[in-house]
Amino acid sequence: MSRLDKSADAARGSGPIVPVAGFRVDKRATDAVVWLLLLTMPFWISWIGGYTQLGTRVVILALAAMSLNFLLGYTGVLSFGHAAYFGLGSYGLGLTIKFLVPNTLVGMAIGVATAIVAAAIIGVLIVRLRGIYFAMVTIAFGQVFYFIAYRWNNVTGGDDGLSGWHRMPIDLGFTQIDVLNNDLAFYYVALFCFAVSVGIMALLLRSPFGRTLLAIRENERRARFLGIPVDRHIWLSWLISCTFTGLAGTLYAMLNNFSDPHDLHWEQSGNFVIMAVLGGMRSFWGPLIGSAIFIVLEDYISSRTENWESFIGLFFILIVLFFPRGVLGMIKRKTMQ
Amino acid sequence: MSLLQVDNVSKRFGNLIAVNDVSMTVEQGELRAVIGPNGAGKTTFFNLISGFLAPSAGKITFDNQDVTKLLPAQRVWRGMARTFQITEVFPELSTRENLRIAVEVAAGYRLKTWLSRDLDGEVRARVTDLLEMSGLAGKADRLVGELSHGDQRATEIMMALALKPRLLLLDEPTAGMGDQETYDITQLIRKLHRDQKLTIVLIEHDMRVVFHLADRIMVLAEGALLAEGTPKEIAKNEAVQAAYLGKAA
Amino acid sequence: MTELILYNVFNGLIIGAFYALMALGLSLILNLSGVINFAHGGFLTLGGYLAFVLVPFVGFWGALLISPFLTAAVGLVIERLMIRPLYGRDPLYSLLLTFGLAFIFEDGTRFIWGPQTLPFSVPIWLQSQLSTEFFFLTGYRVFMVVLATVAVIGLFLILSRTRVGMRIRAGTLDLETVSVLGVNTRVLRTVNFGLGIFLAGLAGVLAAGMLGLQPTTGSELIMPSFVAIIIGGLGSLPGTLLGGLLIGVASGVTSVFFPDASEAVIYVMMGLVLLVRPRGLLGEEGRF
């Protein structure tokens, strides 16, 4: 059954040919198409009823979902609390720009560092747990930062979120990128961060270290008896995943010029997981497709009805019951039959 | 000089004594079989040696070092590799990838191995060697989950071998196999023992395999050591016959 | 000061009893079926609103009796239609499904009854103060503790004395063996799910009497229930009970000295417990 959703394209050495929609397509061609679409998105997104910020949102949340999938799809560990690290990135940046240094790059560095530190500490506590136990503890730990943000009113803005700041133009010394007033420039900055992060993750998955993660996903006992220090590698995978999720969080705060307590909430964690599942967890680009569908749908439904949460909930249920392999999983399965 | 020495180990689960004061000495280059009726504590004994379980009492020495308290992975790094009664492989990866992971682990995944093309070439060459040695070369790019039971077992044994172990522990290598598959696996084990001078300890049910392969045989019954000797001695041993016949009756 | 602390300890016990009722239901489902029921809080909220609808017809006592059964009935239907197909699959899927259900419950109750807090009146005599010295001892609070205790004892009696209860416990340890012995494990799981949801419904009615009705009650109570289970130890119902009471008291006492940390404190406790005992206080090695 599941052998059909050919695992880990990025990490397998068995030829770059992947069947898509009846054709056998070169994997490099797929990558090229994806990058081309992303690079040109601001120019065509308005034709299909979108706008630049919506595209930026897709790219940023796709980064978070792909980072989560590094853990979920490629290490086989279920985290349901990734919003915590996303939100820590968001607040780390917001607080830095508002209270410390009005500098975007410093804010991003501090935001990501905050996420890394929290993930490293929590990772030590959870790394020996597995399966639903791991999932439950990540959910619960995720929520602690929400309560801190919610309660620490005079610093974080509590329930109202952290506003009264905005992203600053990025000064590179030789030139300045005006991300503040130019949404297009900000899109490309976000895309640049996305590309670097995704590139690093793809490289890691192709490395011997990445293969040990696959080994752990496939059969933990075997991996342990090969001498792979399983706990340590899960911890590393968790840390890598949370780091890039934190980076996505900093970008998201910059997109909105606002740190939202909802960024930290478990609902956001669930959204990341559904994006990965919807696109296909066993495919490298799956979460990107999932996030695009999810965000466009959410944007559409929430503009039409007050009760969009019910529709999102229904959407979750329908995916789980009828579409569990996700878009790319289904396409692969169809073409292999 | 002995490679593995087990001194008076016991394992209790609550009131049940699964392994009771068993000792064993395995010499370098030896092929030792552990046999016994069902419930004799063979697999528990194996799990104690490989570190999957911690003994309640006793001491295990490997290569003159006390390994009693070491984790499974630490024992692997010292040269002890094992296979399982129910084959444990990475089913959704290809045969080549299964072996490649094992070879890379043995090489120590440091930044050096990762960056250097030469080392990458070495890894590939070693994988190819293992594939050819096991006769799996033709199935290198198939998913292991799709292979026959015998081929999966062969993959598992080769993964253990990829670790360059000094001691290979095989838990019922021919369990659940047909005649041809049993023959193939027996030949593979024999080849590893003869050609690679590998020290092997195996649990086995199939007496043909045991008497065909083993240098020495150890018999467990109800958790305790019943007899030990060469295949010929064991075949003649009355206590052993009684234990097996007693069970059968 | 003593009185204030005593008040908060008692208050903490009441809240702890809630957490325990809710967490016990979650634990039942988790242990037998491996499903993390995110919608458990939603069922709790539903129990409260159903009681609210029933009160004009059958009175407080009737609603208290009927509403948990109705909630359990809704639970049975949902289990049968949506959760049963997911058994044996990656727990990720049941988690996502119940996550979606939680959205629908919260949004659905908001749609039907509105976002504002609705009052839920309890009989006058239950509202009376029992003592002037200990002003916090209202009849309703004592009543809640008594009822929660009765429910917990009842649950443990069902599990230890009835045939279905013993099967549930046996199935928690080894479902395969139970099915080999001829027990229909699908039905067992459904019954067990119903039992868990019944407890959520009961907790919902009790909560409504103290806090009034709000669509968000469920999602506010679900996280502490998770923490209660983790602190107590996955797989252990007595552990869940202990965990619920512990975090209730801990957050009650913290609210005296450092009110802003009254939510965060339970997560700190959880971290400490995991550090010292990764399986939780009463959890067993080797399971989960």
Using the Cβ of B77 and the Cβ atoms of chain A, whether some distance falls under 8 Å is answered with yes
pLDDT band at A235 (very low <50, low <70, confident <90, very high): very high
pLDDT value of position C131: 66
- A143/C111 CB distance under 8 A: no
Report percent pLDDT > 90 for chain C. 45
Q: Do chains A and B touch (3 or more CB pairs under 8 A)?
A: yes
Using the Cβ of A189 and the Cβ atoms of chain B, whether some distance falls under 8 Å is answered with no
Q: What is the rounded average pLDDT of the residues B136-163?
A: 89
- Residues B193-245 have pLDDT tens digits of 988 889 999 998 888 888 888 999 999 888 889 889 998 888 888 888 887 76
pLDDT value of position C75: 95
pLDDT value of position A12: 39
- The CA-to-CA distance between both ends of chain C, in Å, stands at 43
**Does A13 score more than 70 pLDDT?**
no
The more confident residue out of A337 and A113 is: A113
pLDDT value of position A109: 95
| Distance, CA of A146 to CA of A141 (rounded, Å) | 10
The more confident residue out of A148 and A67 is: A67
Using the Cβ of A216 and the Cβ atoms of chain B, whether some distance falls under 8 Å is answered with no
Q: What is the rounded average pLDDT of the residues A44-64?
A: 90
Q: How far does the CA of residue C260 sit from the closest CA of chain A (Å)?
A: 6
pLDDT value of position C217: 87
Question: Tokens in use for A236?
Answer: 């590393």
Contacts of A65 in chain C (CB under 8 A): none
Using the Cβ of A218 and the Cβ atoms of chain B, whether some distance falls under 8 Å is answered with yes
- B88/A225 CB distance under 8 A: yes
**Does A20 score more than 70 pLDDT?**
no
Lowest mean pLDDT among B177-186, B231-240, C77-86, C137-146: C137-146
Burial of residue A279 (number of CB atoms within 10 Å: 0-12, 13-18, 19+)? buried
Tell me what the pLDDT averaged over chain B comes to.
86
Tell me what the pLDDT averaged over chain C comes to.
87
- Contacts (Cβ under 8 Å, ≥6 apart) of B246: none
- Burial state string for A294-321 with b = 16 or more CB within 10 A and e = fewer than 16: bbbebbebeeeeebbbbbbbebbbebbe
How many contacts does A have with C, using Cβ atoms within 8 A? Answer: 123
pLDDT value of position A72: 93
Tell me what the pLDDT averaged over chain A comes to.
86
Residues of C with CB under 8 A from a CB of A: 30, 34, 36, 38, 82, 85-86, 89-97, 99-104, 106-108, 111, 223, 226-227, 229-230, 234, 260-261, 263-264, 267-268, 270-271, 274-275, 278, 288
| Distance, CA of B200 to CA of B82 (rounded, Å) | 10
Helix axes A286-304, A326-336, angle to 10 degrees: 130
- Residues C3-37 have pLDDT tens digits of 777 888 888 888 888 889 999 999 999 988 889 99
- Contacts (Cβ under 8 Å, ≥6 apart) of B68: B54, B55, B58, B59, B60
pLDDT value of position C145: 85
Using the Cβ of B84 and the Cβ atoms of chain A, whether some distance falls under 8 Å is answered with yes
Contacts of A80 in chain C (CB under 8 A): 95
**What does pTM read for this prediction?**
0.86
Q: What is the 3-state secondary structure (H, E, C) of chain C?
A: CHHHHHHHHHHHHHHHHHHHHHHHHHHHHHHHHCCCCCCHHHHHHHHHHHHHHHHHHHHHHHHHHHHHHHHHHHHHHHHHHHHHHHCCCCHHHHHHHHHHHHHHHHHHHHHHHCCCCECCCCCHHHHCECCCCCCCCEHHHHHHHHHHHHHHHHHHHHHHHCHHHHHHHHHHHCHHHHHHCCCCHHHHHHHHHHHHHHHHHHHHHHHHHHHCECCCHHHHHHHHHHHHHHHHCCCCHHHHHHHHHHHHHHHHHHHHHCHHHCCHHHHHHHHHHHHHCCCCCCCCCCCC
| Distance, CA of C55 to CA of C62 (rounded, Å) | 7
Residue A45 carries which DSSP code?
A: G
**Does A6 score more than 90 pLDDT?**
no
Q: Do chains B and C touch (3 or more CB pairs under 8 A)?
A: no
Compute, in degrees rounded to 10, the torsion defined by CA atoms A274, A56, A310, A73: 0
Residue A224: which of B72, B97, B156 has the nearest Cβ? B72
**Does B111 score more than 70 pLDDT?**
no
- Residues C89-128 have pLDDT tens digits of 888 899 999 999 999 999 999 999 988 888 887 777 777 7
Instruction: Give me the count of residues in chain A.
Output: 337
Q: What is the rounded average pLDDT of the residues C37-57?
A: 93
| Distance, CA of B101 to CA of C101 (rounded, Å) | 41
Question: Tokens in use for C57?
Answer: 């017809």
pLDDT band at C47 (very low <50, low <70, confident <90, very high): very high
Element (H, E) at B219: strand B216-221
Q: Which residue has the tokens 């045939």?
A: C163
Using the Cβ of A131 and the Cβ atoms of chain B, whether some distance falls under 8 Å is answered with no
What are chain A's partners, defined as 3 or more CB pairs within 8 angstroms? B, C
Q: What is the rounded average pLDDT of the residues C148-167?
A: 90
- Contacts (Cβ under 8 Å, ≥6 apart) of B143: A3, B91, B92, B93, B94
Closest to A244 measured CA to CA, from A69, A80, A9: A69
**Does A19 score more than 50 pLDDT?**
no
Using the Cβ of A1 and the Cβ atoms of chain B, whether some distance falls under 8 Å is answered with no
Computed from CA positions of residues C233, A220, B109, B201, in that sequence, does the dihedral angle turn out positive or negative?
A: positive
- Residues A135-194 have pLDDT tens digits of 999 988 888 888 888 888 888 888 788 888 888 888 777 778 877 778 888 999 999 999
Interface probe, candidates C33, C104, C112, chain A, greatest A C-beta count within 10 A: C104
pLDDT value of position A8: 37
Q: Are A46 and A276 in contact (CB under 8 A)?
A: no
Geometric angle at alpha carbon A18, from A17 and A24, rounded to 5°: 80
**Does A25 score more than 60 pLDDT?**
no
**Does C285 score more than 80 pLDDT?**
no
- C101/A144 CB distance under 8 A: no
- C278/A128 CB distance under 8 A: yes
Task: List the single residue in C with minimal CA-CA distance to A275.
Answer: C96
Contacts of B97 in chain A (CB under 8 A): 12-14, 211, 214
Residue B66 carries which DSSP code?
A: E
Strand order in the sheet with B167-171: B80-82, B167-171, B199-203, B31-35, B216-221, B224-229
**Does A336 score more than 70 pLDDT?**
no
Question: Tokens in use for A246?
Answer: 């934190």
**Does A10 score more than 50 pLDDT?**
no
pLDDT value of position A15: 40
Three-state secondary structure call for residue A57: helix
The more confident residue out of C138 and A98 is: A98
Q: Are A225 and B88 in contact (CB under 8 A)?
A: yes
Geometric angle at alpha carbon A288, from A282 and A294, rounded to 5°: 105
| Distance, CA of B126 to CA of B120 (rounded, Å) | 10
ipTM confidence: 0.87
Using the Cβ of B159 and the Cβ atoms of chain A, whether some distance falls under 8 Å is answered with yes
Task: List the single residue in A with minimal CA-CA distance to B143.
Answer: A3
Q: What is the rounded average pLDDT of the residues C183-207?
A: 92
The more confident residue out of B205 and A204 is: A204
pLDDT band at B109 (very low <50, low <70, confident <90, very high): low
pLDDT value of position A9: 38
pLDDT band at C43 (very low <50, low <70, confident <90, very high): very high
Q: How far does the CA of residue A166 sit from the closest CA of chain C (Å)?
A: 28
**Does A84 score more than 90 pLDDT?**
yes
Lowest mean pLDDT among A9-13, A14-18, C277-281: A9-13
Alpha carbon B86 to its chain centroid, in Å, reads 12
| Distance, CA of B192 to CA of B189 (rounded, Å) | 5
**Which residues are paired to B166 by β-bridges?**
none
pLDDT band at C150 (very low <50, low <70, confident <90, very high): very high
**Which residues are paired to B201 by β-bridges?**
B32, B169
Contacts of C102 in chain A (CB under 8 A): 313
Question: Tokens in use for A161?
Answer: 């979120």
User: Cβ of A166: how many Cβ atoms within 10 Å?
Assistant: 17
pLDDT value of position A17: 46
- Residues B119-129 have pLDDT tens digits of 778 888 899 98
Interface probe, candidates A5, A307, A310, A315, chain C, greatest C C-beta count within 10 A: A310
| Distance, CA of B205 to CA of A216 (rounded, Å) | 30
Closest to A200 measured CA to CA, from A67, A37, A57, A16: A67
pLDDT value of position B86: 82
- Residues A38-50 have pLDDT tens digits of 998 888 888 887 8
What Rg value do the Cα atoms of chain B yield, rounded?
Answer: 19
Burial of residue C284 (number of CB atoms within 10 Å: 0-12, 13-18, 19+)? middle
The more confident residue out of A285 and A337 is: A285
**Does C132 score more than 80 pLDDT?**
no
**Does A331 score more than 70 pLDDT?**
yes
**Does C78 score more than 90 pLDDT?**
yes
Q: Are C52 and C116 in contact (CB under 8 A)?
A: no
Q: Are A141 and C267 in contact (CB under 8 A)?
A: yes
- A227/B101 CB distance under 8 A: no
Q: Are A227 and A70 in contact (CB under 8 A)?
A: no
Lowest mean pLDDT among A49-58, B66-75, C117-126: C117-126
Interface probe, candidates A226, A230, A233, A237, chain B, greatest B C-beta count within 10 A: A226
Using the Cβ of B139 and the Cβ atoms of chain A, whether some distance falls under 8 Å is answered with no
Task: Give me the long-range contacts of B233-236 (CB less than 8 A, separation at least 24).
Answer: B235/B211
pLDDT value of position C144: 85
- Contacts (Cβ under 8 Å, ≥6 apart) of A47: none
Residue B90: which of A219, A225, A229 has the nearest Cβ? A219
Most confident of A28-32, A243-247, B236-240, C215-219: A243-247
